[in-house]
Amino acid sequence: MAYRAPEGRGYADVAAYFRERIKNGELAPGDSLPSVSDIREMFDVAAKTVSRALGVLKSEGLVTSRGALGTVVAKSPLVITGTDRLARMAQNGRQYAPGETSTGHQVMRRSVADPEICAALDLEPHEEVVIRVRVFRQDDTPTTVGVSVYPSHTVAVVPELAEDVRMSPQFDELYEQRTGRRVTKGQKVARSRHASADELASLEIDAPPHAAVPVTYTTVTFHDDERPLGWWEDVYAPGTGVPMKD
């Protein structure tokens, strides 16, 4: 059962508060959480409520006990998706979480024949698109290969997409500023498949030739009120924890 203070704060509320701060990068791996007494004062809850909240965070692999240091953020917190990065940037301006970097940036023009991408972007096979690739790393360990694909009508509005530069602000903000049209993201979908050779190399996975290495990946399509604008895919290293919304 939930242990609740008179105003309704329970252990789930306390856990949610710190989970969101970890997810948004406001608490970095190795950072200490407030003491039990400080958390009690923050939320006006009992010590048992705090203990249970910390237990939830530990079970999720977000925090760990470090003796005299108390409870600290775990070294390998959750890795968030590209769309969640957009939300984080809108909320606190952080493009990267503490300890997170990106490498292997590539920008290329290609004709696209992948049926999933063509269907998502309403393209005929072999139409030209701009593809952007980057590898996200946590503490210099690769966690995610991010791929974004943009049709020509999006690039015409945001030509920076075709340049070998890091986007800041991101394409959706620039598109809205220049067209007055609101950009929305579609349903994020998670699936699994075998990693390609390029993905294994990017994630620095040393697998035998022709080995089948399963990975989880997510996709999402962005739209304005008339047509699709972009398609994003994130491929996660095996064992990576990715938070999923209900």
pLDDT digits (tens, 9 = 90+) for 169-213: 889 999 999 999 999 999 889 999 999 999 999 999 998 888 899
All domains of the chain in start order, with CATH: 11-73 (1.10.10.10), 82-236 (3.40.1410.10)
Read off the pTM.
Answer: 0.75
Residue 217 bridge partners (DSSP): 191, 235
Q: DSSP secondary structure string, 69-123?
A: G-EEE-SS-PPPPHHHHHHHHHHH--SS-TTEEEEEEEEEEEEE--HHHHHHHT-
d(CA 101, CA 45): 37
Say yes or no to pLDDT of 84 above 50. yes
- Mean pLDDT of the residues in the chain: 87
Is the pLDDT at 1 greater than 60, yes or no? no
Angle between helices 47-59 and 11-23 (to 10 degrees): 40
